[in-house]
Amino acid sequence: MENRTYHIVTFGCQMNVHESEKLAGIMRELGYEVARTEEEADVILFNTCCIRENAEDRARGNIGALKKLKQKNKDLIIAVGGCMTQQPGAAEKLKKMFPFIDIIFGTHNLENFKELFLRRIAAKRSVVSVDEKEGEIREGTPKFRTSYPNAWVNIMYGCNNFCTYCIVPYVRGRERSRKAEDIVAECRRLIRDGYKEITLLGQNVNSYGNDGNEGVTFAQLLRQIASIEGKFRIRFMTSHPKDLSRDVAYAVRDSEKICKAVHLPIQSGSDRILRLMNRRYTREDYLEKLAFLREIVPGCAVTSDIMVGFPSETEKDFLETCELVRKAKFLNAFTFVYSPRKGTKAAEMDEQIPEETAKDRIMRLIEIQNEVSREISESYLGKVREVLCEGYDREKSMCYGRDDSGKMIYFKADESLIGEFTDVEVEKIAGISLLGKSAKRGK
Ligand code: 5AD
Ligand code: SF4
């Protein structure tokens, strides 16, 4: 008999990418294998995102395009889950728009996907299950990891911050930390299985344990994971600037295994906008955090998220952001045009910014960050960096991987190097990446 197969389409952040690995784990436990193409699949799963409107638009477009496939193959099962379906009223709207969807599940129901799937199979009718409230953390969901030598590990779920533009606290619920022992055990298994880089995931990793979990802080958790034997790297994201502590910086400094790289979203350089965003820090606070981080961890790479076009943002506010970006020297920054999200405070604010103004600002901002990134890239030229080989690019016939700072470096080498640490001498800048050649580091 032919194997039954699944195909997963993922939108959004690393958190979603990892959650798709859980959905894949569940499908495999049910005896399904990865489909070669979407057309061939018996089950198609969408893991959606709603952080900005264009993510939702893309998901809707993709789902709509499946109508034809469903008409051709009546047995095809289509499941849609994730952040988009978790918004109030969204599941009903989706079902109305696309009556051919078989299963709709929310972020809080992901770990129950196996039950929902079996229910759909047994009852042969669609299943909609979107719990309003987050449940207890459920350990032991199988994972089918697809990003060797990197592995994602959730350390906490949800967010308590309610930045006024952000939908995440509404669709992912309150902060819940996993037990340190469960996290450490998972990391230990990953290292034993040969993974070389672990990225700890949380909306705000610096508030790990604040929800009253055995008193283990994020800094202590980092130290516990770093004490696992073996050669591997630890990364973590995301850090909310208001919660980044010196203790975390000391932990980063003290272990060779912890990458000297912190993702620290600034969002805006204007105090007035930061206040309206409910970020709970000022630009001075942010610069102070940067200063102590770089003092404690010399050469620490910092990346950031920056938004333009928040309601009422003036040219003056924007110029303050530009000035801060020049000053902060981010290795790299993700830039976004503010997108109003229904149900958030900012969506109700007067003075939404015209699209053209926001677009013009983001172009100017990207240009500034590109200059900064280029300047930083130049400082890599001629240096030998230890790279974890992550993959092989067939078009370029080159291996690629990141150094400790997170900079992507391409270099000529054999595919068999994937999963190995290797020294690369940086020779050229290529966009935001670097080009180099294998190097033997002198003793
Ligand atoms: N519009 C635009 N960008 C947003 N982000 C979060 N919410 C919105 C929104 N409504 C950005 C923030 C965050 C990143 C993950 O996405 O910069 O740090
Ligand atoms: Fe959204 Fe703010 Fe929470 Fe980040 S910290 S997920 S931006 S509410």
The reported pLDDT for the residue numbered 108 is 87
Pick from 421, 391, 32, 69: which is nearest to 257 by CA?
Answer: 421
- Please determine, looking at this structure, whether the domain spanning 262-379 carries the CATH number 3.30.750.200: yes
Which protein residue's CA is at the shortest distance from atom 2 of ligand 2?
163
- How big is the CA angle at 416 (ends 431 and 384), to the nearest 5 degrees? 45
The model's pLDDT over 233-276, given as tens digits with 9 standing for 90+, comes to: 999 999 999 999 999 999 999 999 999 999 999 999 999 999 99
Report long-range pairs for 344-350 (Cβ below 8 Å, ≥24 apart): 344/164, 344/165, 344/166, 344/167, 344/170, 345/162, 345/164, 345/278, 346/164, 346/165, 346/276, 346/277, 346/310, 346/311, 349/164, 349/276, 349/311, 349/312, 350/311, 350/312
The reported pLDDT for the residue numbered 443 is 40
Q: Do 4-129 and 147-259 agree at the fold level? A: no
Mean pLDDT over each residue of the chain, to the nearest integer: 95
Cα 132 to ligand 2 centroid, rounded to whole Å: 19
- Asked if the model's pLDDT at residue 441 lies above 60, the reply is no
Domain boundaries in the chain? Answer: 4-129, 147-259, 262-379, 384-438
Cα 416 to ligand 1 centroid, rounded to whole Å: 38
Tokens 């996993």 belong to residue: 178
Q: Which CATH number fits domain 147-259: 3.30.750.210, 3.40.1190.20, 1.10.150.240, 3.90.1150.10?
A: 3.30.750.210
The reported pLDDT for the residue numbered 131 is 87
The reported pLDDT for the residue numbered 370 is 96
The reported pLDDT for the residue numbered 137 is 87
Which protein residue's CA is at the shortest distance from atom 4 of ligand 2?
203
For the CA of 159, the nearest atom of ligand 2: 3
The model's pLDDT over 167-207, given as tens digits with 9 standing for 90+, comes to: 999 999 999 999 999 999 999 999 999 999 999 999 999 99
- Rg over alpha carbons for the chain, rounded to the nearest Å, is 22
Which protein residue's CA is at the shortest distance from atom 18 of ligand 1?
305
The mean pLDDT value for 317-345 works out to 97
**Both ends of the chain: CA-CA distance in Å?**
58
The reply to whether ligand 2 has any atom less than 6 angstroms from the CB of 205 is no
Cα 160 to ligand 2 centroid, rounded to whole Å: 8
The reported pLDDT for the residue numbered 78 is 96
Taking the domain 4-129, which CATH number applies? 3.40.50.12160
The reported pLDDT for the residue numbered 213 is 63
Cα 283 to ligand 1 centroid, rounded to whole Å: 18
The reported pLDDT for the residue numbered 324 is 98
The reported pLDDT for the residue numbered 1 is 52
Q: pTM of the predicted model, to two decimals?
A: 0.95
The mean pLDDT value for 141-156 works out to 95
Q: How confident is the model at residue 34 (pLDDT cuts 50, 70, 90)?
A: very high
391-409 burial, b for 16+ CB within 10 Å, e for fewer? bbeeeeebbbbbbbbbbbb
- Asked if the model's pLDDT at residue 3 lies above 90, the reply is no
* Position with higher pLDDT, 439 vs 218: 218
The model's pLDDT over 405-422, given as tens digits with 9 standing for 90+, comes to: 999 999 999 999 999 999
How far apart are alpha carbons 303 and 365 in whole angstroms? 15
How far apart are alpha carbons 187 and 193 in whole angstroms? 10
What is the SS3 string spanning the chain? CCCCEEEEEECCCHHHHHHHHHHHHHHHHCCCEECCCCCCCCEEEEEECCCCHHHHHHHHHHHHCCHHHHHHCCCCEEEEEEHHHHCCCHHHHHHHHCCCCCEEEEHHHHHHHHHHHHHHHHHCCCEEECCCCCCCCCCCCCCCCCCCCEEEEECEECCCCCCCCCCHHHHHCCCEECCHHHHHHHHHHHHHCCCCEEEEECCCHHHCCCCCCCCCCHHHHHHHHHCCCCCCEEEEECCCHHHCCHHHHHHHHHCCCECCEEECCCECCCHHHHHHCCCCCCHHHHHHHHHHHHHHCCCCEEEEEEEECCCCCCHHHHHHHHHHHHHHCCCEEEEEECCCCCCCCHHHCCCCCCHHHHHHHHHHHHHHHHHHHHHHHHCCCCCEEEEEEEEEECCCCEEEEECCCCCEEEECCCHHHCCCEEEEEEEEEECCEEEEEECCCCC
- Asked if the model's pLDDT at residue 134 lies above 90, the reply is no
Q: How confident is the model at residue 123 (pLDDT cuts 50, 70, 90)?
A: confident
> CATH homologous superfamily of domain 384-438?
Nucleic acid-binding proteins (2.40.50.140)
For the CA of 340, the nearest atom of ligand 1: 10
